[in-house]
């Protein structure tokens, strides 16, 4: 029902030379059961789209402006990402929320802009360490999910990434039970709002995913894939993660 998704977020890393890593990925992965998405810096989107050619790998942006065009120096619209060859865009990453003060309302506006341009939005949510330690994880995740996901979102146009802020780039990960608890909670919350369509939203886990923990994370119910930062930069690190997801998907086939 949900095609599993291995997504790589290169953040502010990579130059044209980094595209050689993509060649290795393209050669290694063609499984129809798993979708692969790479979100390089905006400077590389068009080159990556050209390089992948007919390969089913998807290309995405890391952020977009809520407006379709206008006087916003340095920003990029969803339309422009689409024009460069992207079909996805990440919105509401915690690094945007923290470093650029983005609110849930702004994130929802960006997701609406992505949808209007025909892009699938990967909407990121997640609690800080202080919030987890205060027992507020589900409150925070629920609030962000409600306010960051537009009413018109569907499982076809929207992917949700649960990225606990304290797990990003730290090598720390929640326990499998903690990940399972949040993913189960997100699915229920989406069901309450979107009814039967909730079953089509893919829920990714993100935060220090690597080859050594991917197999167990992908075995958690309602984890439909991963949003990977550091370990997506090199094919040698990302490929085993994609492979773990391919195996998880195959084990579910009838
Ligand atoms: P790391 O995989 O480097 O922890 O980053 C996760 C992330 O923020 C992906 O968007």
Q: Specify whether the CB–CB gap between 31 and 4 falls below 8 A.
A: no
Q: In this structure, which residue's CA is closest to atom 7 in ligand 1?
A: 229
Rounded-to-5 percentages of helix, strand, coil across the chain: 50, 15, 35
Note the pTM of the prediction, 2 decimals: 0.97
> Which residue do the tokens 């341009």 mark?
117
Distance CA 62, CA 77 (A): 11
CATH number assigned to the domain comprising residue 94: 3.20.20.70
Ligand 1 center from residue 96 Cα (angstroms)? 13
Average pLDDT, rounded, for the chain: 96
Range of the structural domain that residue 35 is part of: 4-251
Distance CA 111, CA 101 (A): 16
Q: In this structure, which residue's CA is closest to atom 5 in ligand 1?
A: 229
Dig out the tokens for 200 from the structure: 């089509």
Q: Quote the Cα angle for 51-52-53, to 5°.
A: 90
110 falls in which pLDDT band (50, 70, 90)?
very high
Q: Quote the Cα angle for 82-37-139, to 5°.
A: 95
Each residue of 164-216: pLDDT tens digit?
999 999 999 999 999 999 999 999 999 999 999 999 999 999 999 999 999 99
pLDDT at 73: 98
pLDDT at 30: 75
Question: Does pLDDT of 254 surpass 80?
Answer: no
The catalytic site residues sit at: 93, 163
Contact 208 CB / ligand 1 (< 6 Å): yes
Of 200, 219, 211, give the one whose Cα is nearest residue 2.
Answer: 200
Q: Quote the Cα angle for 221-172-226, to 5°.
A: 40
> Which residue do the tokens 């992965």 mark?
29
Ligand 1 center from residue 169 Cα (angstroms)? 6
Contact 120 CB / ligand 1 (< 6 Å): no
Distance CA 125, CA 132 (A): 13
> Which residue do the tokens 């390969």 mark?
55
Q: How many domains does the chain have?
A: 1
Contact 60 CB / ligand 1 (< 6 Å): no
Contact 230 CB / ligand 1 (< 6 Å): yes
Q: What is the mean pLDDT of residues 214-224?
A: 97
pLDDT at 213: 97
Residues 49-57: contacts with CB under 8 Å, at least 24 apart: 49/84, 49/85, 49/86, 50/85, 51/19, 51/22, 51/23, 51/26, 52/22, 52/26, 55/26, 55/30, 56/30, 56/32, 57/22, 57/25, 57/26, 57/29
User: For residue 197, how many C-alpha atoms fall within 13 Å in the half-sphere facing its CB?
Assistant: 11
Each residue of 41-85: pLDDT tens digit?
999 999 999 999 889 999 999 999 999 999 999 999 999 999 999
């Amino acid at each position: 029902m949900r095609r599993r998704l291995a997504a790589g977020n290169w953040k502010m890393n990579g130059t044209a030379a980094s595209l050689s890593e993509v060649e290795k990925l393209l050669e290694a992965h063609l499984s129809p059961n798993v979708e692969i998405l790479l979100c390089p810096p905006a400077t590389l989107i068009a080159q990556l789209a050209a390089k992948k050619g007919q390969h089913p790998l998807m290309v995405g942006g890391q952020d977009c402006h809520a407006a379709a065009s206008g006087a916003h120096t340095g920003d990029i619209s969803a339309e422009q990402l689409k024009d460069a060859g992207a079909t996805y865009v990440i919105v509401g990453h915690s690094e945007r929320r923290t470093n650029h003060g983005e609110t849930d309302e702004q994130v929802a506006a960006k997701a609406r802009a992505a949808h209007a341009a025909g892009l699938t939005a990967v909407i990121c949510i997640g609690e800080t360490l202080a919030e987890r330690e205060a027992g507020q994880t589900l409150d925070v995740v629920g609030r962000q999910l409600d306010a960051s996901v537009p009413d018109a979102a569907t499982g076809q146009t929207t992917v949700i990434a649960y990225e606990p802020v304290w797990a990003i780039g730290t090598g720390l990960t929640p326990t499998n039970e903690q990940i399972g608890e949040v993913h189960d909670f997100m699915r229920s919350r989406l069901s309450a709002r979107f009814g039967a369509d909730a079953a089509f939203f893919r829920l990714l886990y993100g935060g220090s995913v690597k080859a050594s923990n991917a197999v167990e994370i992908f075995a958690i119910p309602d984890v439909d894939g991963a949003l990977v930062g550091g370990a997506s930069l090199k094919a040698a690190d990302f490929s085993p993660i994609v492979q773990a997801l391919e195996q998880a998907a195959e084990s579910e086939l009838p």
